[in-house]
Structure 1
Amino acid sequence: MKKYQVVLAFILAGYLPLRAQEVPSFTKAVYVSGTDSLPYRLLYPLHYDQHKKYPIVLFLHGAGQRGKDNESPLAGVPQALTDPIGREKYPCFILVPQCAKKDVWVKFPGFPESLQATDLPTPSARAAFAQLDILISQLPIDKKRVYIMGYSMGGEGTFDFLTRQPELFAAAIPICSVSDTAKARLIHKIPVWAFHGDQDEVNNVRYSRMMIGALKKQGGKPIYTEFPGAKHNIWMQAYSQPGLFDWLFAQKRP
């Protein structure tokens, strides 16, 4: 049995109880396969019932939370999904992988002259996809309601993950991102609600404007919210946008 299968088997054996109160918040584990490894956290739905189907949210953190402590990425997860009210309103799985310290969710080798991403996913991205696939195959996850969101480096990853498996995701929330606009044709049908501050000093706002324009040119109907006077750290503002998570969980693939 592969190492990652052992890890997952332990989680499934230990955290599939009959009573919801026995399910802990954000179980901790590590995906391992060959040379790939990825620390991650997994939150089970409140009042978890293994006989029901639930959506899953893949949350990608920013560059400052890279490493292997399997703790820091949780700081950016929206409280609207993790507090008692949010967990009651939006029962779902939340997968929070942690990117390696010297890796990124997506690489743009020619940036800023080119926004072309690498042909192959980064090792951390590859591992995140693999872990998500495992969870989808072994947990009661609604395959039509797989969502992805992230900020900064995680926002970049959000758009990149969409382009690599556009048939997988039902909706996305990229925040202050950079993306490969040439791939808008692959994802224009996927519901997107993007955010950016117009004074962003890290990822210039023009990059979100370019991708939103590219999606619309392909016939897409993305939602775009730009915060006047805001710099890079806008994720809390984005999370507070009225109707954001109602919108997210209403999305469903055909």
Structure 2
Amino acid sequence: MKLYLTLVITLILGSQFIKAQETSAYTRAIYVTSKDSLPYRLLYPLNYNKHKKYPIVVFLHGSGQRGNDNEAQLIGVPKRLTDSAGRAKYPCFILVPQCSKKDVWVKFPNFPASLETTRLATPSAGLTLTKLDLLIKNLPIDRKRIYVTGYSMGGEGAFDFLSRRPNLFAAAIPICSVSDTAKAGLIYKVPIWAFHGDQDEVNHVKYSRLMITALENHKGKPKYTEYRGVKHNSWTKAYEEPGLFDWLFSQKRR
């Protein structure tokens, strides 16, 4: 069983999300460098005012939404942030990059024997972090309120982004992920609320438990919610968790 595969059902369930999304509200663009490119969508805050500072949320999709159509990655973006009520309550930028079909957000070369990740970020992850830096530089983004979330492969990416830029993110919401527990010492101070279903048949629940324990061993205080009887699609419950986004947007980097 490959770590990076998301169930085919993700696409089926996800299509229901994307039809409900106001995709036209997103800026559609491609970040191009001399070596590579990254399709991405950017949602501006409702009633955007360039003289105000706003938080930004980086959303990382699962493996089933990889490609270059600059559309599929919108599947699963939390409706609580994108519907009219959510946009009014939580005005923020939302960056939604799309990972290349041949790439992943993070690699575990010797999985399952080892949870060690590669020394360098993957091309798609590196491009996303670089694009994020440019957005922070050029838009009125509150540098103390930069957040990352994702599910499955995207949850793995969320943990990896934290470990590569521990002084950048104010908080993270990784869902049904695997992560490099040896990096816990780099990120234990970052507020984290992780989720997993105890019947996950793609990424076993033990991997979230291992990381939570590793963070706690470093005196970190992560939040962790485990859903009984839930399989891999635990993000559908997680993004509806009461108080989740109140918690997220209350976090500020010191």
TM > 0.5 between the two?
Answer: yes
Q: CA deviation at 1:173?
A: 0.1
Q: CA deviation at 1:75?
A: 1.5
Three-state SS of the structure 2 residue aligned to 1:76 is coil
Determine the structure 1 residue equivalent to 2:109: 109
CA deviation string 1:209-250 (max 9, x = no partner): 000000000000000000001100111100111100000000
The answer to whether structure 1 residue 165 and structure 2 residue 165 are counterparts is yes
Determine the structure 1 residue equivalent to 2:239: 239
What's the RMSD between the two structures over aligned residues? 0.5
Determine the structure 1 residue equivalent to 2:123: 123
Tell me, in whole angstroms, the C-alpha distance in 1 between the residues paired with 2:102 and 2:63: 10
Tell me, in whole angstroms, the C-alpha distance in 2 between the residues paired with 1:122 and 1:81: 28
Three-state SS of the structure 1 residue aligned to 2:32 is strand
Determine the structure 1 residue equivalent to 2:45: 45
Identical counterparts, % of pairs: 70
Q: CA deviation at 1:36?
A: 1.9
The one-letter amino acid paired with 1:107 is: K
CA deviation string 1:24-57 (max 9, x = no partner): 6111000011112100000000010000000000
Three-state SS of the structure 2 residue aligned to 1:105 is coil
Tell me, in whole angstroms, the C-alpha distance in 1 between the residues paired with 2:181 and 2:234: 22
Tell me, in whole angstroms, the C-alpha distance in 1 between the residues paired with 2:170 and 2:143: 9
Determine the structure 2 residue equivalent to 1:150: 150
The one-letter amino acid paired with 1:88 is: A
Tell me, in whole angstroms, the C-alpha distance in 2 between the residues paired with 1:137 and 1:121: 21
Tell me, in whole angstroms, the C-alpha distance in 2 between the residues paired with 1:144 and 1:234: 29
Tell me, in whole angstroms, the C-alpha distance in 1 between the residues paired with 2:100 and 2:89: 33
Tell me, in whole angstroms, the C-alpha distance in 2 between the residues paired with 1:136 and 1:97: 15
Determine the structure 1 residue equivalent to 2:67: 67
The one-letter amino acid paired with 2:165 is: Q
- What are structure 2's unaligned runs of at least 5 residues? 1-23
Tell me, in whole angstroms, the C-alpha distance in 1 between the residues paired with 2:219 and 2:235: 27
Tell me, in whole angstroms, the C-alpha distance in 1 between the residues paired with 2:54 and 2:102: 33
Tell me, in whole angstroms, the C-alpha distance in 2 between the residues paired with 1:200 and 1:72: 23
CA deviation string 1:90-128 (max 9, x = no partner): 000000000000100000000000000000000000000
The one-letter amino acid paired with 2:162 is: L
Q: Hey, which bits of structure 1, 4+ residues long, moved more than 4 A? A: none
Determine the structure 2 residue equivalent to 1:141: 141
Determine the structure 1 residue equivalent to 2:201: 201
Tell me, in whole angstroms, the C-alpha distance in 2 between the residues paired with 1:143 and 1:28: 23
- What are structure 1's unaligned runs of at least 5 residues? 1-23
Determine the structure 2 residue equivalent to 1:18: none
Tell me, in whole angstroms, the C-alpha distance in 2 between the residues paired with 1:133 and 1:51: 19
Greater Rg by CA: 1
Determine the structure 2 residue equivalent to 1:3: none
Q: CA deviation at 1:161?
A: 0.4
Q: CA deviation at 1:61?
A: 0.2
Determine the structure 2 residue equivalent to 1:77: 77
Tell me, in whole angstroms, the C-alpha distance in 2 between the residues paired with 1:242 and 1:78: 13
The answer to whether structure 1 residue 99 and structure 2 residue 96 are counterparts is no
Larger relative contact order, structure 1 or 2 (CA cutoff 8 Å, min sep 6): 2
Three-state SS of the structure 2 residue aligned to 1:106 is coil
Tell me, in whole angstroms, the C-alpha distance in 2 between the residues paired with 1:204 and 1:111: 13
CA deviation string 1:177-234 (max 9, x = no partner): 0000000000000000000000100000000000000000000000000000110011
Tell me, in whole angstroms, the C-alpha distance in 1 between the residues paired with 2:68 and 2:26: 16
Three-state SS of the structure 1 residue aligned to 2:136 is helix
